[in-house]
Structure 1
Amino acid sequence: MWSLKAVTQLCKNTVASGNISAISTAGLKYFAPPIKYENIEKVERPKLRIMERMPQYPPNLRPPKMQKRLRYMRGPELVHNTLLHKQYAIVATGGGRLRWGHYEMMRLTIGRKMNTDTMFATWRIPAPWQPITKKGQGQRMGGGKGAIDHYVTPIRAGRIIVEIAGRCEFIEVKGFLTQVANQLPFKATVVSQEMLDQQQVEEDLKERSNENPFTMKYVIQNNLNGCHRWLSPVDHKWFGKHL
């Protein structure tokens, strides 16, 4: 058994005698191959277009008024919940309403930050179309429905707001897309196609591997503990997933 003192003394004697031979070796490094963007479609206008502040009606038609219709913001989005270009996007995780100022904020921020030579952005939501009425300050109650104040676009959870694609990676667009998502009037997040696929796989795995039979759906459908007395119709429809 060699002691630490003996090994140290042996090294000192070897260095003093000059019997050390240095062998230069070259290591083999591995670099990942570059990403091939073969299926990228080239667009004429890479930046987001300007949205109209209000819908255009014929001159002989009075703009119609509308009820609140809060159901347009509740529940999951069933149609526009997938990526068309299969790259990156901003996805709403909660319901809310977008005004014209939010459109301009997204258009200007993304237009300044993005590289128009390698990437492009597209809207996945329509222009503001739902009228919101408001009465003037100081008016007494009654007198009919107020005049149209502005227009909004109702958004549901899971709706794709803006989509970014092109010859770019996720790290390039995550910064300014997160900045935009944090300024929206509802909760939103930045996702990629890989993240959406992974999320779907995890949800399916949890559902298959769940050994507890008392899920929220089972409890509500079987009225366990008399929960029908205090549950809302929304809970009966989506089983506690959406408000």
Structure 2
Amino acid sequence: MFSTRFLRQWCPRMLIQAAGMKNYTPPLDYSGIQLPEKPKLSYMDKVPTYASNLKPPKMAKRLTLMRGPELIHNEFIHKQYGIVALCGGRLNSGHMEMIRMTINRKMDANKMFAVWRIDPPWQPLTRKGQGKRMGGGKGAIDHYVTPIKAGRVIVEVGGKCEFVQVFSFLNEVAQILPFKAKATSYDLMEAEKIEKKELAASNINPYTPEYVIKNNMGGCHDWISPYDKEWFFKYV
């Protein structure tokens, strides 16, 4: 009987099959996950409901509602998957209906569930008719929006599934939103936090944006935005 080394020496093109031990990763344990009674996203009203004797109030632009980081709704409750905003913006009823229809149509309701993490449209935006002169008071309410800050979790998806199964339709929704957003998972978000801490600890350059702004180097307080003095160029 010829050895495999002899066969490989004289017949290099010969395919020799060899049996060996293979280690496969065990499947994930979904025993602690319970699907809700209604797994799909619910419909959101286009207009908030007011009392019959109350006139719908008008509001200023309040751009501060979109600036800066989100401090409350920036973590996954179910610690699985979802869509996170990367910058500030506004969502109207059309965007929310697009999110609802895309996710409800493409997810498997027998194994997955989706949860809203944003409020229905509540901020009124006014608009004047075309061709009207300036003045005459504030215009009529045109539609309602929901302001979003950077880091806000928009929608959350979970269940007995892996990230590969939900990434396709979550990424499709994230690319259509009117601001930058990404489809991510709880593990990826935790890894990004650790990476940011490691980069900050290994930085040998003492002149960080925070150091430059706090010490008013070059008289930067005269020309930078007041928001840059608070967030150090992180949120534009």
- Calculate the TM-score normalised by the size of structure 1: 0.90
**Paired residue type of 2:208:** T
Matched, 1:183 2:152: no
- Residue by residue over 1:48-93, the C-alpha shift from the partner in whole angstroms, topping out at 9 and shown as x without a partner, is 0000001000110000000000000000000000000000010000
Match of 1:140 in 2: 133
Work out the CA distance in 1 between the residues paired with 2:80 and 2:68: 25
Structure 1 regions of 5+ residues with no counterpart? 1-6, 13-22
State which structure, 1 or 2, has the greater radius of gyration over its C-alpha atoms: 1
**Paired residue type of 1:92:** A
Match of 1:55 in 2: 48
Match of 1:4 in 2: none
How far the C-alpha of 1:11 sits from its partner, in A, is 4.1
**Paired residue type of 2:132:** Q
1:114-133 to 2 correspondence within 5 Å? 114-133=107-126
Match of 1:209 in 2: 202
Match of 1:44 in 2: 37
1:11-160 to 2 correspondence within 5 Å? 11=10, 25-160=18-153
Moved more, 61-70 or 210-219: 210-219
**Paired residue type of 2:135:** G
Structure 2 regions of 5+ residues with no counterpart? 1-5
Work out the CA distance in 1 between the residues paired with 2:46 and 2:81: 26
- Calculate the TM-score normalised by the size of structure 2: 0.92
Match of 1:166 in 2: 159
Structure 1 runs of 4+ aligned residues shifted over 6 Å read: none
* Cα distance change, pair 111–11 in 1 and its aligned pair in 2 (3 A): closer
State the identity as a percent: 56
The alignment partner of 2:82 has SS state of: strand
Work out the CA distance in 2 between the residues paired with 1:32 and 1:185: 39
Q: Aligned Cα RMSD in Å?
A: 1.7
Work out the CA distance in 2 between the residues paired with 1:220 and 1:112: 48
* Cα distance change, pair 228–117 in 1 and its aligned pair in 2 (3 A): same
How far the C-alpha of 1:102 sits from its partner, in A, is 0.3
Is this contact kept in 1: 2:35–2:111, CA < 8 A? no
* Cα distance change, pair 100–24 in 1 and its aligned pair in 2 (3 A): closer
